[in-house]
Structure 1
């Protein structure tokens, strides 16, 4: 598959901690991605510092006591960051009436992003690339996306 990113299309490259909003200044055959915005998630300390130290217990009337699953604070933070990223994308997309969106994220984060897309934004998604490219320089992201 040879990914073609139209002129002025948005490319959102993100993971659970960082989101980069890039705009294609070039054309579909030779993209030139420019950074429009970078967002980073708030600090996420260790689970022991965030909540209860032990999962709760449930006393059953007829069966033995059972444990409940503890809250995964990191997963909640990642989900909130995905929600915030899509909210920022909606603002930018609707304000400038861009021509399409490409989502680039690791598979787990891509699933979280998909969950928060509304119908209008979902219909404008040109492609989804399941790679973690947030630590790559922009020219490397361009090269890797053209080969995707």
Structure 2
């Protein structure tokens, strides 16, 4: 994923969310942290789809993680709508990314320049930059 200059990158998993900005170029990214929002997960609507006995017994359904993904999408929706974010890439583990997509506003969808279904939370910025360059 090539991030344009000043484009944002959301690094998300079931518990964490960090917003970065590319202060470099698409071919030589230089990421800096912009925000680490402390979100309150209040949207547990995903739970309606995950009420099967199998998922509950094996622990493969964590409603708190899904609610966190919804909260991240809602935060990103608001940031795009108020003009704080113009272009954004999103990197999240597959489960979180799938849930986030269910909550995208059409303006957020238009602002997304790429998505990466990969867990990058906790990685050093240099490794994330290399990952961005490797993905095309």
TM-score, scaled to structure 1: 0.72
User: Does 2:105 match 1:107?
Assistant: no
Residues paired across the two proteins, number? 121
What is the CA–CA distance in structure 2 between the aligned matches of 1:39 and 1:71, rounded to whole Å? 29
Question: 1:68-83 alignment to 2 at 5 Å?
Answer: 69=53, 72=56, 75-83=62-70
How far 1:99 moved relative to its partner?
3.3
Gaps of 5+ in 2: 41-51
Instruction: Using the TM superposition, give the Cα deviation of residue 122 of structure 1 relative to its aligned residue in structure 2, in angstroms.
Output: 0.7
Structure having the larger proportion of residues in helix? 2
Report the CA distance shift for 1:135/1:8 in structure 2 as closer, same or farther (over 3 A): same
Which residue does the alignment assign to 2:47? none
Partner of 1:127: 114
Instruction: For 1:30 and 1:71, locate their aligned partners in 2 and report how far apart those are by CA, in whole Å.
Output: 42
1:117 correspondence with 2:101: no
Residues 1:140 and 2:127 are matched in the alignment: yes
Q: Distance between the aligned counterparts of 1:40 and 1:132, measured in 2?
A: 19
The match for 1:7 is: 5
User: How far did 1:97 drift?
Assistant: 4.6
Deviations 1:90-118 (A, max 9, x none): 23333345331111011111101111101
Instruction: Show the counterpart of 2:45.
Output: none
Normalised to the residue count of structure 2, the TM-score between the two structures is 0.77
Stretches of structure 1 lacking an aligned partner (at least 5 in a row): 43-67
Aligned residue for 2:32, secondary structure, equals strand
CA shift for structure 1 position 136: 0.6
* Kept in 2: contact 1:7–1:99 (CA 8 A): no
Task: Give, in whole Å, the separation in 1 of the partners of 2:26 and 2:83.
Answer: 19
| Cα deviation code 1:61-104 (max 9, x no counterpart) | xxxxxxx8399596221121011111221233333453311110
